[in-house]
Structures are given as C-alpha cells and as structure tokens.
C-alpha cells in the first residue's frame, strides 16, 4: 500500500522548480519519447492489420473460400446436402477452368477462363459488387465476362467480339489444330486486384467444357463460407466430407504472402519497440539526476524516520507515473491518428503534391486502418513493464543513500 506521505512527497518531487530546469527537460523528453513510441506502434500495427484485412476481403471476394478438386472420380453431389456442410457454407458452386489465348485485332494475351452456369455466376461476390457492369444473368452460349483491367488493355467494351484460342485442339488430316471461338463481351467486373482483373475471364460452364474437351467429371466444387476468415476448422470439416478429393482453401493459395505479412508485422513491432526502450532509458537518467538533486531531502526524510522501502516507493512511483501517463497519451494519439489516417494522407498529398500509397502498387484506393484492441493492450502493457523495470535501479539507489554523509556538510 502507498501511504498519504509517500503520495504527497511523490507529487512534490514531480513538480519541477527553476533550479531543476535540466531535470524537467529530461522528464519532458522521456514523456514525448514514450508517447511517440506507443503512438507509432499503434499506427503501424493498425495500418498493417487494415492492409491484411483488405487484402483478405479482396482475395476471398474473388476466389472460392474452399475448393474441392476431384482426383479421378466425379465429385459426389449427394454429399452437398450434408448438414455440417450447409451450416458453414452460404453457397456451393460447380465450376471448371482452362488456359487460353485471347485475340483482339493484332494483340494477343494469355488468360485463364473460369466456367460457371448462368445461375451460379450471379451468386459470386464480385458480381454482386456495385462496380459490376452488365447483365449478371446472361452468361450463356458464347458470352464472356472480363475484368476491368483487361478491358482497358485490349480496348474492349460491352458488346464487342473477341476471338479466343483454346489450349485443346481438333485432330485433322494435317495434325492438331487449336480450337477457336468468337465470344461477345456481356459484362465487366472489378475485383480490386489488378492481377485478377487482367488475367481471368468467365464463360458459361457447358461452353467451357466443350471448348477444352472436358467432361462433367472434371468439375470442381467451390464452397463459399459464412465466415471465410476462420478457415482452418472449416477446411477440416470439408476434408472429412470429401476424404478422397483434393481440398484446398484461399489461405493455402496465398500462404507465402500472408506469412510474409505476419513476419513483417512482428519485425516492425520489435524495431519500433526500441523507440520505447530508448525513451525509457531517459527515465533512468532523469531519476538518477533527481536522486542527486534531492540528496538533502532524502537525508532529512530518513533522519525523521521514513523507511527505505518508502523512499523506494517514492522514486519508483515517479518513474511509473511518467511512463504510464506517457503511454496513455500515446494510446490516445495513436488511436486518433489511426482513425483519421486517410484524411491525413489526403492532406499531405495535396500540400506536397505527391502520391502517398499509390493504388497501382498497393491495389487499394485508400489507406486502410484497423484498430485492434489486443494490439493496443500488448503495446501499452509492454510500455508500462519497460517503465517499471527502468524505474527500479534509481529507486534502489535513493534508498541506499547514507543520511549522515548527505548532511555532513550542510
């Protein structure tokens, strides 16, 4: 417990007098350093969390959350009625795909064609997107839906005709000739990821299978989940239902990317924590100088019967108060900045006429930010623990002061 005397002496020592000007400067720099360290950590963690969330949303909005691919035998569609599968999924879609070359005038480009039935195509999230242009219920016959970036690169509009060359061919007298078909652009989608929008197009499932010499036995099952972020547990459920098929998720397809983001986030946390540690060492300097300046006061306190443990508490409290108040201020600063970071980015871009966070590099039109309560708790706890540790040494030094030597020449 902290006595009233200890509280009063602590508050008195915290009030800097004119002769303690240098000590006051050290305390201010300690406060600013810890506050900035905590604020920067919260801002960086918020931006990285936001970027990861936005990236996940775009990936899961374009790809199936879980895909079941048959090895040899056709996917058993009777299993689609199982209760455990229906509980975790919001839609089950059969699809197929193949690689082809798209030809427009004198330009050619390799693309991946995905095939869906016209009813299943309208269930896709990117089709429900407000940025989708065209008829979502008309993916029939030789109609094709292309990405926004592909429409720009090949100068295509809805209603234009294009030629597509299949990787499968027709056997003739003179050899194998690749299949070619004319398709009419019926819609344009935008996923938010340039690579997807530029390299993937959608056509009718039956048309695709005929175009690539595929059968219904080759079809994949695409599972779209109610909660795609909790993927591992739900993937295990699907694997139990389809034990003889190959099951993979969006997380498996992008494992290296998200592993890199996780490592980067952890490294940034360690590096930026050094700001707090360096600032905390200023507390040691400040408290050591305070002990030196208050030698006479400490000696008087001891001579009137104040115990060593009370002296330790007083100087320990001074360090903890500086560190804790700086941490709280840093949390307020960091959270406020994280909330308005997009406004701040626009302000800097306008003032300095530069492009911060360009969309063509990061695939996002705005700077994302997601404030995570757990991250704030970890950051603030780490900051306060560091402050507590660095306050121990000066407090112990103050308690070991000999009052007789201190008052000898007074």
Q: Indicate the DSSP class of residue 111.
A: E
Residue 251 lies in a domain: no
- pLDDT tier for residue 254 given thresholds of 50, 70 and 90: confident
- The DSSP symbol for 367 reads -
Same domain for 397 and 265, yes or no, is: yes
Contact in structure between 196 and 150 (CB atoms under 8 Å) = no
In the predicted structure, residue 410 carries a pLDDT above the cut 70 = no
In a domain, residue 252? The reply is no
Give yes or no: residues 395 and 358 share one domain: yes
Q: Which two tokens stand for residue 37?
A: 């360290």
Give the dihedral sign, CA 348/353/354/356: positive
Question: Which contiguous run of DSSP H or E holds residue 112?
Answer: strand 107-116
Look at residue 101 and tell me if it is in a domain. yes
- Render the burial of 118-147: b for 16+ CB within 10 Å, e for the rest: bebbbbbebbeeeebbbebebbeeebbbbb
Q: Are 406 and 295 in contact (CB under 8 A)?
A: yes
CA pair distance 102, 116, nearest whole angstrom: 19
Domain count, the chain: 2
221 and 72 in a single domain? The answer is yes
HSE at residue 305, side-chain half, CA atoms within 13 A, is 1
- Quick one: average pLDDT of 262-267? 78
User: Tell me, what's the pLDDT at 204?
Assistant: 92
Which pair of structure tokens corresponds to residue 129? 């997107």
Host H or E run for residue 172: strand 161-172
200 and 346 share one domain: no
241 found inside a domain: no
Does 245 fall in a domain? Answer: no
User: Phi, psi at residue 186, to the nearest 5°?
Assistant: -110, -20
Same domain, 19 and 105: no
pLDDT attached to residue 409: 52
* The pLDDT of residue 145 is above 90: yes
Distance CA 220, CA 209 (A): 12
Q: Which domain holds residue 177?
A: 66-227
Predicted pLDDT of residue 116: 92
Same-domain pairing of 170 and 305: no
Could you read off the pLDDT of 172-220 as tens digits, one per residue? 666 567 788 899 999 999 887 778 888 899 999 999 988 888 888 888 9
Q: How far apart are CA 297 and CA 303, in angstroms?
A: 10
Query: 76 with 163, same domain?
Result: yes
Domain boundary among 227, 242, 273: 227
| 235 domain residue, yes or no | no
Do both 267 and 373 map to the same domain? yes
CA distances from 263 to 48, 260, 269, 378 (A): 11, 5, 10, 17
- Write down the mean pLDDT value for the chain: 81
Please report how many Cα atoms fall inside a 13 Å half-sphere around the Cα of residue 285, on the Cβ side: 16
HSE, CB side, 13 Å, CA atoms: give it for residue 120: 20
Strands 220-225 and 89-104 come out as antiparallel
Residues 275 and 313 in one domain: yes
Whether residues 40 and 70 fall in one domain: no
Q: How far apart are CA 93 and CA 157, in angstroms?
A: 28
* Confidence grade of residue 153 (pLDDT, cut at 50, 70, 90): confident
Q: Are residues 150 and 182 in the same domain?
A: yes
Bigger pLDDT: 389 or 290? 389
Distances (CA, A) of 22 to 27, 220, 285: 9, 72, 11
pTM: 0.69
99 closest CA partner among 13, 173, 179: 179
> Mind listing the pLDDT tens digit for each residue in 11-20?
776 665 555 5
From CA 110, how far away is CA 133, in angstroms rounded? 23
Task: Please report the pLDDT score of residue 405 as a whole number.
Answer: 63
State whether 278 and 172 are in the same domain: no
DSSP character string of 195-238: HHHHHEEEEEHHHHHHHTT--GGG-EEEEEESSTTSHHHHHHHH
Please give the pLDDT value at position 363: 58
> Is there a contact between 166 and 180 (Cβ–Cβ < 8 Å)?
yes
Q: What is the pLDDT of residues 41-91, one digit of tens each?
A: 888 888 888 887 777 777 777 788 889 998 878 888 888 888 888 888 888
Residue that is last in its domain, among 188, 210, 227: 227
Residue 173 burial by CB count (10 A; 0-12/13-18/19+): exposed, middle or buried? exposed
Q: Is 29 contained in some domain?
A: yes
For position 389, what pLDDT does the model report? 83
- Is 151 inside any structural domain? yes
């Amino acid at each position: 417990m902290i006595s009233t005397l200890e509280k009063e002496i602590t508050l008195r020592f915290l009030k800097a007098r004119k002769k303690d000007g240098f000590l006051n400067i050290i305390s201010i720099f300690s406060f600013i350093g810890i506050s900035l360290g905590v604020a920067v950590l919260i801002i960086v963690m918020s931006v990285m969390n936001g970027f990861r969330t936005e990236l996940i949303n775009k990936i899961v909005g374009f790809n199936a959350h879980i895909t079941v691919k048959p090895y040899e035998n056709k996917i058993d569609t009777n299993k689609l009625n199982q209760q455990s599968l229906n509980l975790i999924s919001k839609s089950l879609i059969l699809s197929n795909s193949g690689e082809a070359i798209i030809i427009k005038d004198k330009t050619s480009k390799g693309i991946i064609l995905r095939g869906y039935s016209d009813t299943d195509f309208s269930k896709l999230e990117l089709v429900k997107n407000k940025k989708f242009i065209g008829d979502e219920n008309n993916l029939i016959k030789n109609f094709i839906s292309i990405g926004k970036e592909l429409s720009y690169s090949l100068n295509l509009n809805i209603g234009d005709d294009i030629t597509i060359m299949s990787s499968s061919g027709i056997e003739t007298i003179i050899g194998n000739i690749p299949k070619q078909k004319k398709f009419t652009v019926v819609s344009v989608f935008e996923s938010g990821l340039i690579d997807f929008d530029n390299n993937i197009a959608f056509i009718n499932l039956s048309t695709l299978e005929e175009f690539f010499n595929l059968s219904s036995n080759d079809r994949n099952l695409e599972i779209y989940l109610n909660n795609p972020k909790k993927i591992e547990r739900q993937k295990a459920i699907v694997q139990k239902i389809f034990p003889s098929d190959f099951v993979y998720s969006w997380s498996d397809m992008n494992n290296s990317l998200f592993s890199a983001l996780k490592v980067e986030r952890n490294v940034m946390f360690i590096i930026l924590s050094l700001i707090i540690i360096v600032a905390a060492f200023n507390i040691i300097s400040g408290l050591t100088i305070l002990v030196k300046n208050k030698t006479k006061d400490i000696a008087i306190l001891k001579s009137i019967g104040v115990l060593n443990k009370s002296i330790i508490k007083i100087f320990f409290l001074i360090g903890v108060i500086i560190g804790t108040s700086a941490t709280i201020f840093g949390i307020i600063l960091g959270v406020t900045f994280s909330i308005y970071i997009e406004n701040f980015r626009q302000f800097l871009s306008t003032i300095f006429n530069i492009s911060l966070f360009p969309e063509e590099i990061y695939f996002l039109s705005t700077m994302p930010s997601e404030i995570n309560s757990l991250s704030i708790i970890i950051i603030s706890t780490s900051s306060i623990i560091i402050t507590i540790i660095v306050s121990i040494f000066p407090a112990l030094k103050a308690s070991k002061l000999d009052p007789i030597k201190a008052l000898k020449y007074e």
